[in-house]
Amino acid sequence: MEPELLRTLLMNVASTSRLAVELFLMLQSDSEESSDDEIDSADAPDTKLLVAVTDVLSTVERRLWARETSTEWWDHIVMQVWDDDQWLQNFRMRKATFMGLCAELAPTLQRKDTRLRAALSVEKRVAIAVWKLATPDSYRSVANQFGVGKSTVGIVVMQVCRAINRILFRRTVTLGNVQDIVDGFAQMGFPNCGGAIDGTHIPILAPPHLASEYINRKGYFSMVLQALVDHRGRFTDIYTGWPGKVHDARIFRNSGLFRKLQAGTFFPDRKITVGDVEMPIVILGDPAYPLMPWLMKLYTGKLDRSKDRFNYRLSRCRMTVECAFGRLKGRWRSLYGKLHVLESSIPAIITACCILHNICEGKGETFSDEWASEVQRLEAEFAQPESRANREAQHSASRIRDALKEHFEAESQQ
């Protein structure tokens, strides 16, 4: 290899490292002065030079390769000084819950050190992602906070979200004990109920393709999250990724939840008798959903006292899903930040936030009144569009609803 070619290659690779260039020139000079009979091969000088330069470039101080950043805040303040209140305020969970999450994700997120730099710890990776999800902070702001590069934040957020989904989804977003759910809704006033369903719009940036499909009835770009929740506001089924323009009923009919409910495989086969009608375990929806034997919704149009009473009881139980969405967005404020990722990556982030919501709810993590106030303010900016009412109703479903109406009316007379 010609010395001039070697010099050009090295200058391209190590243009920011004066030390590497000087070492190269020194080694080249030494090799030219050495005796030919001391070298066994004509290629040996080139090999010697390349090995020496590689060693230097691999061991040179990190400042030659990347901007020096500080990790003092994370290593010594957050990890060693912060109490549970500070963890809760900034990470939406106490330190013990956070460390448990890290332990679950460690097999997937662990990375090895290289000769160029030390790998980020699992704890720091998870912290970067959770901080980004919990705040409206920009990627640059999060990068400065944790002493990493801006691009690193984007990469880490997606790595952690995908790890959360892959490892924790099936055992976190699950139906659980059906009898507990049914008993919980019964205490709230609705018998044989297995959940409340609704959709919510997550604001996004305008996608580069088919952007008009993502404009909802309120005029902003969004992606829809459909969720079924239990009596405690935990997500038991989620489905996301559809553009904001699509009607809730269409999304529902394309979901795995609809197919399972239609086939009778989502809930156990537990029927009760109301009046002279058999009623399976049902879910509760708003007028956008079809009236089905296993899906009850409000009466619309002209209402009498008994229909009003039915609507009141159903609405009281449906509040669980609306509250769940409020708590989801109150904890993970990035869902109001018009997510700065490709639309193909947004479902992974939304899903991860739902999983983290369930973890926090399951661990009894406090939800601050301050977060609730912020949700109300943000909801005013990104108001939820009202879906058109769906008038579809099966005859058997109408009979069940009417029987429930009469049952509630009779209860009120006792």
* pLDDT for residue 114: 79
Q: Is residue 47 scored above 90 in pLDDT?
A: no
332 Ramachandran zone, left/alpha/beta (phi>0; psi -120 to 50):
beta
Give residue 35's pLDDT band: very low, low, confident or very high (50, 70, 90): very low
Provide the pLDDT for residue 38.
40
Q: Name which of 65, 53, 131 is nearest 93 in CA terms.
A: 131
Phi, psi of 185 (to 5 degrees): -70, -30
H or E stretch covering 167: helix 150-172
**pLDDT-derived band of residue 12, with 50, 70 and 90 as boundaries?**
low
| Residue 30 confidence class, pLDDT cut points 50, 70, 90 | very low
Same domain, 31 and 104: no
- Strand blocks (E) in 64-177: none
Contact 131, 142 (CB under 8 A): yes
Q: 89 and 231 share a domain?
A: no
Strands 222-229 and 235-243: antiparallel
Q: How confident is the model at residue 5 (pLDDT cuts 50, 70, 90)?
A: low
- Give the tokens for residue 43: 């290629």
Q: What share of the chain is helix, strand, coil (3-state, %, to 5)?
A: 55, 10, 30
What pLDDT score does 205 carry? 93
Q: Are 239 and 347 in contact (CB under 8 A)?
A: no
For residues 123 and 97, the answer to whether their CB atoms sit within 8 Å is no
Token pair 């009144």 in the structure block, residue: 369
Bridge partners of residue 202, in order along the sequence: 223
Share of the chain above pLDDT 70, in %: 83
Tell me the pLDDT tens digit for each residue of 122-178: 999 999 999 999 998 999 999 999 999 999 999 999 999 999 999 999 999 999 999
pLDDT bracket for residue 274 (50, 70, 90): very high
Same domain, 119 and 247: no
| Domain range enclosing 370 | 178-413
For all residues of the chain together, what is the average pLDDT? 86
User: Among 122, 159, 99, 182, which residue's Cα sits nearest to residue 359?
Assistant: 99
Give the per-residue pLDDT at 203: 95
Furthest-apart CA atoms within the chain: distance in Å: 113
Angstrom distance (rounded) from CA 46 to CA 4: 12
Calpha distance 109→164 (Å, rounded): 10
Rounded to a whole number of angstroms, the distance between the first and last alpha carbons of the chain is 100
**306 in the same domain as 196:** yes
Rounded Cα gap, residues 244 and 94, in angstroms: 34
Count CB-CB contacts under 10 A for residue 183: 13
Burial tier of 309 (Cβ tally within 10 Å: 0-12, 13-18, 19+): middle
Per-residue model confidence (pLDDT) at position 11: 52
- State whether 167 and 182 are in the same domain: no
Say yes or no: 138 and 285 in one domain: no
Distances (CA, A) of 380 to 19, 125, 144, 221: 58, 33, 31, 15
Same domain, 243 and 311: yes
Gyration radius of the chain's alpha carbons: 30
Question: What pLDDT sits at residue 166?
Answer: 98
Residues 158 and 267 in one domain: no
Confidence band (pLDDT; 50, 70, 90) for 9?
Answer: low
pLDDT at 119: 87
Query: What gap in Å lies between CA 70 and CA 257, rounded to an integer?
Result: 47
Of 172, 192, 221, the last residue of a domain is 172
Across the range 217-246, mean pLDDT stands at 97
Same domain, 196 and 324: yes
> What sign does the dihedral 191-257-101-176 (CA atoms) show?
positive
Is the same domain home to 110 and 157?
yes
- Residue 326 and residue 239 in one domain: yes
CB-CB neighbours of 21 under 10 Å: 16
Query: Is the pLDDT confidence value at 234 over 90?
Result: yes
The pair of three-digit structure tokens given for residue 109, joined into one six-digit string: 């997120």
* Confidence category of residue 260, pLDDT binned at 50, 70, 90: very high
What's the predicted TM-score (pTM) here?
A: 0.82
Contact 49, 31 (CB under 8 A): yes
Domain boundary among 48, 64, 80: 64
- How many domains would you assign to the chain? 3
Identity at 278, one-letter amino acid code = E
Instruction: Grade residue 56 by pLDDT with cuts at 50, 70 and 90.
Output: very low
Same domain, 379 and 313: yes
Predicted confidence (pLDDT) at residue 332 exceeds the cutoff of 60: yes
